[in-house]
Amino acid sequence: MRKSTTIGLGTVLAGRYELLSQLASGGMGTVYLAPDRTTGSKVAVKALHAEHLVDNAMRRRFRREGAALKAVDHPAIVRLFEVGVSF
C-alpha cells in the first residue's frame, strides 16, 4: 500500500485546517475533510503524496491544477479557496 502523505489525521495546516478524515486518494494526492477553524465551515484539503513532494514537475502540476480549478465558477463544481504550501 502506498504511503499517502507526510501528514496524517489530526494535523493542522496553515494554522486553520485540521485534518479529520480521509475522503479520497488518487495518483497525485489524498483529500481530507478539514474544518476551517476561522470560519467553522467544512472544507476539503488535498495534499500531495510524499513521493511527489521532491518532484518539481509534480509540484508544478499540482499548482496548475489549483489555478485551473480556481478559474472555474459553476454551482456543480467545488470552489477552490486557497493553494499553498505548509510544512
pLDDT tens, position by position, 54-75: 889 998 998 898 889 888 999 9
- Cβ atoms of 63 and 47 within 8 Å: the answer is no
Q: How far apart are the C-alpha atoms of 54 and 40, rounded to whole Å? A: 33
Which cell is 42 given? 467544512
Helices (H) and strands (E) in the chain, counts: 1, 5
pLDDT confidence tier of residue 49, bands split at 50, 70 and 90: confident
Instruction: Examine the pLDDT at 1 and tell me if it is beyond 90.
Output: no
Q: How far apart are the C-alpha atoms of 12 and 50, rounded to whole Å? A: 17
- What type of residue sits at position 7? I
Q: How far apart are the C-alpha atoms of 87 and 26, rounded to whole Å? A: 21
Reported as a single tens digit per residue, the pLDDT across 9-34 is 999 988 889 999 999 998 888 999 99
Look up the CATH superfamily of 12-70. Answer: Phosphorylase Kinase; domain 1 (3.30.200.20)
